[in-house]
Chain A
Amino acid sequence: EDKVVQSPLSLVVHEGDTVTLNCSYEVTNFRSLLWYKQEKKAPTFLFMLTSSGIEKKSGRLSSILDKKELFSILNITATQTGDSAIYLCAGLPYNAGNNRKLIWGLGTSLAVNP
């Protein structure tokens, strides 16, 4: 059965710290891995990773995929209180019907204290 496992489940850090969030996956016919940030309402898209070893970067956030070891990490440097959120990871398999169903992890709840 396909699954995505995120760790840690929750994390508390101080402003300015660097954090690394982990996501391992077992997805049949794997296509891509996606990261989302969820604050109080809807998840917002951060990154889609398809190729191994190519870092994607957006400001203080970066992510990389290892397709050999089947995991991805999301790094946040110089954390700010506005980074407090649940970070969700999801695997996207190829699907003959193009339904594009994502396999979701449970998320990592990050709290950044001032």
Chain B
Amino acid sequence: SQTIHQWPATLVQPVGSPLSLECTVEGTSNPNLYWYRQAAGRGLQLLFYSVGIGQISSEVPQNLSASRPQDRQFILSSKKLLLSDSGFYLCAWSVPTGYYGYTFGSGTRLTVV
């Protein structure tokens, strides 16, 4: 069966520090991968998605970047965090075709101080 792992679960980082959040999927190949941010427990905002290795699409201009160095690995990064980067970050995967929804990772609560 497929599983998705996301870490860390919580993170407190100072303004100006770098960020790296990692997400891996097991039990499937060539998944679509997504990074979302959720503010105040509502409103999922799509940040990045990837349909293949090295293929990253950005949905909103911001202080973050994403990479997909391996088929089932998706990384969210920042060189210098801003206070506004605080939030709940969710990784998700889906099959690229067919009638299936997303499966989400357990999320990372990021607080920038």
Say which residue of B42, B104, B107 sits within 8 Å of A107 (CB atoms).
B42
Interface size on A, residues (CB 8 A): 26
Residues of B within 8 A of A (CB): 32, 34, 41-44, 46, 49, 51, 57, 90, 94, 96-97, 99-107
Binds B, one of A14-22, A43-51, A52-60, A64-72: A43-51
Question: Complex Cα distance A107/B88, Å?
Answer: 15
Contacts of B101 in A (CB 8 A): 34, 36, 45, 48, 90, 92, 102
Asked if A86 is an interface residue, CB under 8 A from chain B, the answer is yes
Interface, chain A (partner B; CB < 8 A): 31-32, 34, 36, 38, 41-45, 48, 50, 86, 88, 90, 92, 97-102, 104, 106-107, 109
Beta-carbon contact of B51 and A42 below 8 Å: no
Measured between C-beta atoms, what is the minimum distance from B29 to chain A in Å?
15
The CA of A107 and the CA of B46, in the complex, are separated in Å by 15
Q: Given the complex of chains A and B, what is the CA–CA distance between A92 and B101 in angstroms?
A: 9
